[in-house]
A and B are shown apart, each in its own frame.
Chain A
Amino acid sequence: MTQYLLSVHMVEGQPEPSADEMAQMFKDVDLVNEEIKAAGAWVFAGGLHPATTATTVRVRDGEVVTTDGPFAETKEQLGGFWIIKVDDLDAALAWAAKATRACRAPVEVRPFQDDV
Chain B
Amino acid sequence: MTACDVAEVGRIFRAEYGRAVASLVRHLGDIDLAEEAIQEAFAVAVQKWPETGLPPSPAGWIITTGRNRAVDWLRREASREHRHNQALLVYPGGDATHADPAQVTVEEVSPVPDDRLRLIFTCCHPALAPTAQVALTLRLLGGLETTEIARAFVVPEATMAQRIVRAKAKIKAARIPYRVPDEAELPDRLPPVLAVLYLVFNEGYAASSGAALVREDLCAEAIRMARVLADLMPDEPEVLGLLALLLLAESRRAARVGADGALVPLADQDRTRWDRQLIEQGQNLVRACLRRNRPGPYQIQAAINAVHADAGTAADTDWRQILALYDQLLAVAPTPVVALNRAVAVAELDGPGPALALVDGLDLPAYYPYHATRADLLRRLGRGSEAVRAYDAAIALTGNESERMFLQRRRDAVDRVPGMGDTSS
Contacts and interface: CB of A to CB of B under 8 A. Distances in A.
Contacts of A92: 174
Interface stretch (A45-53, A68-76, A82-90): A82-90
Contacts of B127: 89, 93
B28 to A, nearest CB: 17
A111 interface: yes
A88 B173 CA distance: 10
A100 interface: no
A7 B174 CA distance: 15
Nearest to B181: A90
Contacts, number: 23
A111 B169 CA distance: 12
A2 interface: yes
Interface residues on B, range: under 10
B11 interface: no
B174 A111 contact: yes
Given A89-B127, A93-B127, A111 B177 contact: no
B257 interface: no
Contacts of B125: 89
A92 B176 CA distance: 10
Contacts of B173: 111, 113
Interface residues of A, number: 11
B409 to A, nearest CB: 50
A2 B125 CA distance: 18
A93 B176 CA distance: 10
Contacts of A93: 127
B185 to A, nearest CB: 8
Nearest to B189: A90
B174 A87 contact: no
Q: Output the residue of A2, A87, A111, A113 with the most chain B CB within 10 A.
A: A111
Contacts of B174: 2, 89, 92, 109-111
B80 interface: no
Contacts of A89: 125, 127, 174-177
A108 to B, nearest CB: 12
A6 B125 CA distance: 19
A92 B177 CA distance: 11
Interface in A8-36: none
Nearest to A4: B174
Contacts of A88: 175-177
A84 to B, nearest CB: 13
Interface string A40-71: 00000000000000000000000000000000
Given A88-B176, A109-B174, 9 more contacts: A87-B177, A89-B125, A89-B175, A89-B177, A90-B176, A90-B177, A92-B174, A111-B174, A113-B173
23 contacts: A2-B174, A2-B175, A87-B175, A87-B177, A88-B175, A88-B176, A88-B177, A89-B125, A89-B127, A89-B174, A89-B175, A89-B176, A89-B177, A90-B176, A90-B177, A92-B174, A93-B127, A109-B174, A110-B174, A111-B173, A111-B174, A111-B175, A113-B173
Query: Sorted from nearest, which 8 A-B pairs have the closest CB atoms?
Result: A88-B177, A88-B175, A111-B174, A89-B174, A89-B176, A2-B175, A89-B175, A90-B177
